[in-house]
Structure 1
Amino acid sequence: MEPDDAWTTLRRQCEALEPGAELVTPVSERPFEIERTDDDRIVVRFGDSGEMRPLWREQFVVFLEQLDEGAVSVDHLQPGVEPYASVVTLADEYTADEETISYDADAVGGESPFLVSPAAARDRPERVHDDALLLAALLEELDAAEPASLDTDSLTDLYVLASDVQHGSNRVRRSARDPLLERLGPDQELHGRYGTVRRTTRERREPTDAETIFAALDDRGIPREWVTGVDRDKLDVVLAVTDLEEDEVYDVDEDVYVQKTGVDEDEKYSRLRGIADRIDDLEGTEGEDLREELDDIEERLEEALSAG
């Protein structure tokens, strides 16, 4: 491909990316976004550091000339070249796999393996925020106080979103734990807008090795039989290789529950964007009232999650 044509194609592909979409570098897997395109550069911003970096047209030409001469090994890409390689694969004629990036004039255009959709590019706090907003919107639509009266689709959506908010908020809570522990001294409490936390210590006990345990028992004349029992792992092996039946050695209780087996993140993201677009379309008092209502919903969700 001629340099001018390739440059025009790359700029057009960068400008056509969905808002919020990211690229990742092939080796170091650093995420970055396209900030803007100019006549002589494409400016990117790295998500892990906030660093802004220009990718120069002349450097793209050099890299494309290498590809014209043959495939480039992904493993041999230098850190400074990695973002160039990621951007190049946005063009249909440049293909990539786990090992190489190459030029093929007859290639059927496919999505770059280094392109991350806006839905997948969100970090953990953003996902919790979005799931909480979707759950709040759903709760406004449904009579969740009477779940049995809901249709099956609504009940399923309610369960999935509530589960996503629960698990997502738990992960965010755990990520906040270590910084809080560094700021909490013994018998100290920290107060926020929504509640209070303090340092708590719990002991978890695990038996040491059998030899040490038996030696301690023997020293005190305690029979080893008092602490020995059935090894479940060994029992499962016996079940697998003999004709012993499970109900002969196990008391089996059946626990029936609902298991979430899949989440349609693209559908959730589309719905979220639809809510945001409708809010943006509203003007005047009606739009302002709705924004205030959503702010209130988010605040009540934060209070509920903090209390839980």
Structure 2
Amino acid sequence: MEGIWETLTRQCANLEAGAALETPVSERRFRVVRSADDRIIIRFDDSEEERPLWREQFEVFVDGLDAGQIAVDDLQPGVEPYAVVLTLADEFTVVNDLIARDPDAAVAGESPFLVPAAEARTRSERVHDDALLLATLLERLEDADEPDELETDPLTDLYVLSSDVQRGADRLRKSAREPLLERLGPEQELHGRYGTVRRTVRERRRPKDDETVLDALDSHGIPREWVLGVDAEKLDVVLSVTDLEEDAVYDVEEDVYVQKTGVDEDEKYSRLQGIADRIDELEGAEGEALENELDRIEDRLEEALSAD
């Protein structure tokens, strides 16, 4: 076990910054925080819970594998992280949904449960990163307010990043909605640093089932034909089995729009790393000046908000 343990701790230390591992049954992502002589500390993304994986328990798991293969689907929640981390070694891997000791198939540092850093980012991290990329692009573009003046490549990037920020921010907004509703009482407002929210009630109506509606009409002497209309689904069936032309029953308008068909997440992540590296390089007077400027902006925002 000595050689296996050394390999495990080394591969854990060499994991790409931001990379995660995911348990195959419970589908929980976790990160390796640090290693010690007798344990590997992991932290789960969904709960921020830190948990030690003990060396002696790895030994028990390896002894079990020496006695035979273990089906991935049979892994218990408490055992899953051990199995996942073990597949980073150069002797263990997954073959036909079985965790097995197979040095010929295993590759040190690789695992079917390894999630690259670009994919392992949380929803809020993706929104942050996309917004940072968009802000960087806007700083670089002199004609962002005049899209007609932009070359095709930056114009495409502007559309894609704006779309990603909008979609990600909307998902993040919806995830914040329920907790806010729990804290908002009737006619109550909550004030944040950048704005205010209040509880709003809107009525959305939808017809009851046909039988109930028609019975209600009959009871009030209302002719049924007043509410009966054309069923578009049935009309489409008629169009498909007869010689009736579509334009005879439909007003067709063509809506031309731009559709985002792909996003290069690897390129985005690579660009982010470049931005992060440049920020790290801002040391000394230049870095201190940037930090002071950010503090001044923050102070001005606070003053403006408190003055309202």
168-177 or 231-240, larger mean C-alpha shift: 231-240
Does 2:194 match 1:201?
no
Query: What does residue 147 of structure 1 align with?
Result: 147
**Counterparts of residues 14-25 of structure 1 (less than 5 Å):** 14-25=12-23
How far apart, in 2, do the equivalents of 1:299 and 1:273 lie? 29
Whole-Å separation in 2 of the counterparts to 1:299 and 1:112: 47
Asked if the contact 1:26–1:82 (Cα under 8 Å) also holds between the matched residues in 2, the reply is yes
- Taking every aligned residue pair, what percent have the same amino acid on both sides? 70
Amino acid at match of 1:52: E
User: Does residue 260 of the first structure (1) align with residue 260 of the second (2)?
Assistant: yes
Moved more, 250-259 or 180-189: 180-189
Alignment of 1:214-233 (within 5 A): 214-233=214-233
Q: After superposition, where does 1:1-308 map in structure 2 within 5 Å? A: 3-96=1-94, 99-107=97-105, 109=107, 111-143=110-142, 144-291=144-291
Q: TM-score, normalised by structure 1?
A: 0.89
SS at match of 1:62: helix
| Shift in Å, 1:293 | 5.9
Q: CA separation in 1, counterparts of 2:240 and 2:96?
A: 40
| CA gap 1:275/1:295 in 2 versus in 1, 3 angstroms | farther
CA distance in 1, matches of 2:118, 2:294: 21
Note the alpha carbon deviations across 1:17-58, whole angstroms, 9 max, x for none. 011111112211122111112222211122222222221222
The DSSP-based 3-state class of the residue aligned with 1:96 is: strand
Tell me by how many angstroms 1:4 deviates: 2.4
Change (3 A) 1:298 1:205: farther
Moved more, 144-153 or 63-72: 63-72
Q: 5+ residue gaps in structure 2?
A: 301-308
C-alpha deviation, 1:93, in angstroms:
3.4
| Aligned positions, number | 298
SS of the residue 1:252 aligns to: coil
Q: Secondary structure at the match of 1:55?
A: strand
Q: CA offsets, 1:124-183, max 9 Å, x none?
A: 111111111111111100020111111111011111111111111111111111122222
Change (3 A) 1:250 1:159: same
Q: Assess if the C-alpha contact under 8 Å between 2:7 and 2:90 holds in 1.
A: no
- Which 5+ residue runs of structure 1 have no aligned equivalent? 301-308
The alignment yields a C-alpha RMSD, in angstroms, of 2.4
